[in-house]
Structure formats: structure tokens, C-alpha cells
Amino acid sequence: MDDRPDDRYERALMEGLRHPRPDIAQTCAWILGQRRVRAAVPALLAALEARSCDIDVQAAIVTALGRIGDPRAFATLARVARQGAVPVRRVALAALWAIDQERARPVLEDVLATDSSAGVRSEAARLLREETPGARARSSPS
């Protein structure tokens, strides 16, 4: 098996998601997101469930999942956008939007109509107002 230094580093980062110190887990999530490590998605999803009391870690994990952009995270992020802590719900909306705007639109519209937090509703409204990159080019006649 080809065990490159990058592979070992990424595995160590995934292990770090389970570290008892939240700041270390948060940093590991951030780095995995910056590196867009698709192989980390299952570990990130597991850590999101396991660290339900660590809001900052959850927010970092959700942000990483959005940056990675893997559709496997969509269902979990949609649930978190409706049920998580307020800061986590806000970043979950942005992560959903980053992964798939078409699939995210109904989730954001539901959150905009029903969420108890003005900040979360505001984030949903902001994202829904954003122009999709290239949307104008696709919709205008050639």
C-alpha cells in the first residue's frame, strides 16, 4: 500500500477529531476542510455526532464539510441546520449552500420561514439572495 506522508498526515488529522481537547479537534477539522480531504467526510460526520456538546468544534466540522463539498454530508447538514445550536445552524446553512444550491434552497426557505433565531433566518435570507456563480450566463440566451 502506498503510504505517502500526506496520507499519514490526513489520517492523523482524522484521529485528532476525537481528541479530548476541543481546540485540537477544531483545528483538525479546519485543516481537513482547508485541504478538502474527501476521505475525511465519514470521520467528520462521526465527530459531528460524537461532539454534540462542543459547539465550536461542531461549527468547525460543519464548515469543513461545506468546504469539502461532498454530497454525502448533505442529509446530516440539513438536519443540523434545523436542530443544532444557533451558531452551528448558521454555518450549516452556508455549508448546504456550498454543496448544492438547488437541493439547499428548500431547506433554506423552510428555515427562513420557521426558525426561532433571527440570526439563522437572516443567514438563510442572505444565502437565498446570493447570485449563483454563472447563473446569469446559463440563463441568458446565447
3-state secondary structure the chain: CCCCHHHHHHHHHHHHCCCCCHHHHHHHHHHHHHCCCHHHHHHHHHHHHHCCCCHHHHHHHHHHHHHHCCHHHHHHHHHHHHHCCHHHHHHHHHHHHHHCHHHHHHHHHHHHHHCCCHHHHHHHHHHHHCCCCCHHHHHCCC
Cβ contact 45:73 at 8 Å = yes
* pLDDT for 141: 42
* pLDDT for 84: 87
* pLDDT for 6: 85
pTM of the model as a whole: 0.87
* pLDDT for 140: 41
- In this structure, the chain runs to a length of 142
> Which of these, 69, 8, 4, lies nearest to 33 by C-alpha position?
69
**Domains of the chain and CATH, by start:** 5-132 (1.25.10.10)
* pLDDT for 70: 97
User: Mean pLDDT of residues grouped by 10 in the chain (142 residues)?
Assistant: 78 97 98 98 97 96 98 98 95 97 97 97 95 47 40
